[in-house]
Structure 1
Amino acid sequence: MSIGAVLAQLRGDFPDVTISKIRFLEAEGLVQPGRTPSGYRQFAAADVERLRFVLAAQRDHYLPLKVIKEQLDAADSGAGPTAALPRPPRRLVPIDAPAENVGLPVADDFTVGKELRLTREELLEQAGIDAPALAELQQYGLVRPGPAGFFDPDAVLVARTVKAMTEFGIEPRHLRAFRAAADREVGLLEQIVTPVYRHRDPEAKSRADEVVRELAALSVTLHTLLVKAGIRGVAGC
């Protein structure tokens, strides 16, 4: 079957899976589909079950890909369990979820990579704001430079978002509650994962990284849904 057909089969249990994710897992050696004479991927039913196992292990057990691959390699060599691969028992978003739920954040959105570093001048230019506006954003904690004085790309998005909100009469000082709420959410996640990060086991750190990403996605999703529910009340829907 094609990669699109595989995606359709997996989406019921894993609403956040994408074609890019499947290709990434292939590149990491976790699944090896065949190829048609013209070079297109051709997945077998066993490949789909293998992908289910990988996605469930990531989501439900927070296992890093290295550990998952070792388990699969052991099963392939006969050194590990070869029983039917587990199907996930839960769904974050039901298969028949309304289209309005599409676009909610997923764990991969919170992956921390090697970010670009922007100078103050670059931030001003890319965000389309002036120096006094940036000073106000910093005053209320909405934008924070790193230890070396550089800004990350998210600071540009924050600045643009606040700029758009000012057109509705909302000033940065009105948004201090957003900063405080975000800090409280981060503090809660920190309490949960800090004990795991203290372990010297590299696998424990990888698990903690995945846990914090998934919890961050769930936290932002909950916030989004609560705001949507509140807006329905305001709008009388």
Structure 2
Amino acid sequence: MQPEPSGGARAGTATGPQSGPMSIGAVLRALRAEFPELTVAGIRFLEAEGLVEPARSPSGGRRFREADVERLGRVLRLQRDHCLSLRAIKERLGAPGEAAPPPVVPVAAPRRAESEAPVPGSGEAPAASAVRTGRRELLGSAGVREEELAEWEEYGLLGPAGDGTYRLVDVAVARLVARLGRHGVEARHLRPVKAAADRQLALAEQRVAPLRRHPDQRTRSGAQSTADELADLSVRLYGAFMASGAHPDRTRCD
């Protein structure tokens, strides 16, 4: 196993003593020496993925602390030197400092039909309970109004389960849609993005469908892991497309 990079900033990356928070442009200049391919779009993508959580000025601008810059450096090194997925990086580094998560309500997973029940001794564990949150908690956590959430649901950007609860990932979606809204991006603009994500997930499911029907139990058990990896790769590819589109003169295929 390769040694994990240290948490400190390397030469050419360290921000040095700072008199105050840094803008996203200053962060880019601080990290460019070690990561010449880094772009503003790439930093924003890592923020959207929850790998860094900069503070916000009263006008809404990002304000990165020295710890945020050091964390970004670690994330980028783990991607470059260890080829880790964003999910693995999150698990290794933990979540950035943020407010406590909203109250959640454990909701029992739907009961399987008898034909779907795990075979005794097969080693397949029962489905875990889903963790969900209520509508009021989602509104408070995302800082949005009821009419905004209703519009997003009308456009299919997110929605509740049959019992009216939401997945925690819906909270993340609501936060991101709200942030985009502050820049004039409306729900109708985001419907094609959601449709593209749905198509990509359908493609991933199409690829793993034969694995789910495979006679070997271990192969069937690995189907979901493969589906998760395909989804993670799709997210990374989308971020790479965004970064290359923002700076086409610096596009490079590794």
Relative to structure 1, the CA distance from residue 235 to residue 132 in structure 2 (aligned partners, 3 Å threshold; closer, same or farther) is farther
Q: Rg bigger for which structure?
A: 1
Q: Name the structure with the higher helix share.
A: 1
Q: Could you tell me whether the CA contact under 8 Å between 1:119 and 1:150 is conserved in 2?
A: yes
Q: Could you tell me whether the CA contact under 8 Å between 1:143 and 1:158 is conserved in 2?
A: yes
Using structure 2 for the length normalisation, give the TM-score: 0.49
How many residue pairs match? The answer is 144
Relative to structure 1, the CA distance from residue 219 to residue 104 in structure 2 (aligned partners, 3 Å threshold; closer, same or farther) is same
Corresponding position of 2:205: 190
SS of residue paired to 1:116: strand
* Equivalent-residue separation in structure 2 for 1:230 and 1:180 (angstroms): 20
Out of 166, 175, 182, the residue aligned to residue 151 of structure 1 is: 166
Relative to structure 1, the CA distance from residue 230 to residue 137 in structure 2 (aligned partners, 3 Å threshold; closer, same or farther) is same
Q: Could you tell me whether the CA contact under 8 Å between 1:142 and 1:179 is conserved in 2?
A: yes
Q: Which runs of 5+ in 1 are unaligned?
A: 1-5, 12-97
Note if 1:138 corresponds to 2:153: yes
Out of 175, 180, 190, the residue aligned to residue 160 of structure 1 is: 175
AA paired with 2:177? V
- Taking only the aligned residue pairs, the percentage that are identical comes to 35
Q: Which runs of 5+ in 2 are unaligned?
A: 6-75, 92-126
Q: Could you tell me whether the CA contact under 8 Å between 2:78 and 2:89 is conserved in 1?
A: no
Q: Could you tell me whether the CA contact under 8 Å between 1:107 and 1:214 is conserved in 2?
A: no
Query: RCO higher in 1 or 2 (8 Å CA, sep ≥ 6)?
Result: 1
Note if 1:175 corresponds to 2:190: yes
SS of residue paired to 1:168: coil
Which structure 1 residue ranges, 4+ long, deviate > 6 Å from structure 2? 107-110
Per the TM alignment, residue 108 of structure 1 is displaced from its structure 2 partner at its CA by: 8.6
SS of residue paired to 1:117: strand
* Equivalent-residue separation in structure 2 for 1:201 and 1:147 (angstroms): 34
* Equivalent-residue separation in structure 1 for 2:89 and 2:210 (angstroms): 22
Note if 1:129 corresponds to 2:144: yes
Q: Could you tell me whether the CA contact under 8 Å between 1:137 and 1:143 is conserved in 2?
A: yes
Note if 1:199 corresponds to 2:199: no
Note if 1:225 corresponds to 2:250: no
* Equivalent-residue separation in structure 2 for 1:137 and 1:235 (angstroms): 35
CA RMSD of aligned residues (A): 3.3
* Equivalent-residue separation in structure 2 for 1:213 and 1:107 (angstroms): 12
